[in-house]
Structure 1
Amino acid sequence: MKQIVLALATVVTLFACNNNSASTAAAVEQAKKQTLDSINAVNVAKQQVIDSINAIKHTAHKRQTVEAPDRNNYAAPNSVAADNTPAAAPAPAPAPKKKGWSHTAKGAVVGAGAGAITGAIVNPDHLKGAAIGTIIGAGVGAGTGAIVDHAKKKKAAQQ
């Protein structure tokens, strides 16, 4: 797109120096037409790609439904109900639970931040106090988070 605009600007600038305004106007119109044609060609190509991707997705979904029927369902996968309506597709599997940071990692980060702020405020040498506070805070936070992680694992094991 940038190249098209740059080409159009170059053509307009080159033809603007020409004293013949009739040929300049025609050249500008020709350049505009070429630019619009190229933009339309890009849009057509983009739409073809989108259509082909959608067709592939549809084919893959259809193949998955035919090849992997639900074994707990007693109806055939492509069966038709009594009123000639297609049978409902099985519900998709639930998405896997997103795993985030552990409590140990969260505790270390929060502890490091709190220790840095506290150390910088308490110690007259702010940089040294922040460094010491960061180290101590990260250690305490990681320890606390590890205790919480251990308790959660223990609780999960009991259930």
Structure 2
Amino acid sequence: MKKISILLVALSIISCKNTDKSDADLAKEATVDSLKIEYAKQRVIDSMNDAMVRQQQAQQKEVIVVNQAASTPQKKKWSGAAKGAVIGAGVGAVTGAIVSDKKGEGAVIGGLAGAGVGAGTGAIIDGKKKKD
């Protein structure tokens, strides 16, 4: 019986506590709860906006990469005739200078002859490449 009476006294003390909240406290809690909900909504909106910005930036980068690739000029390659003329002129000039008694005159004549032969040989090679 002692145990039951102690239990009843403890329950009555707990139940007599003032659990009523004032209207001001309830209003504060409602305000805090609504602010928490608004913050959560704003976080979702911000994250969606960030995702959209990242997606737009990725698309812009792709466009820039495509434009850069299209606008890059290609180097022009020398034709076989041009290469042959330059090589022939160099070899002809050296050979003419070595063989001739008049070094300057021999170099000029050898250079011109070598350029002509080299250009002709390069043109022949270019013609064969075009057929293939």
State the TM bucket, normalised to the shorter chain: 0.3 to 0.5
Larger radius of gyration: 2
Higher RCO (CA-CA < 8 Å; seq separation 6+): 2
TM-score, normalised with respect to structure 1: 0.40
**TM-score normalised to structure 2 length:** 0.47
Structure with the higher helix share, 1 or 2 = 2
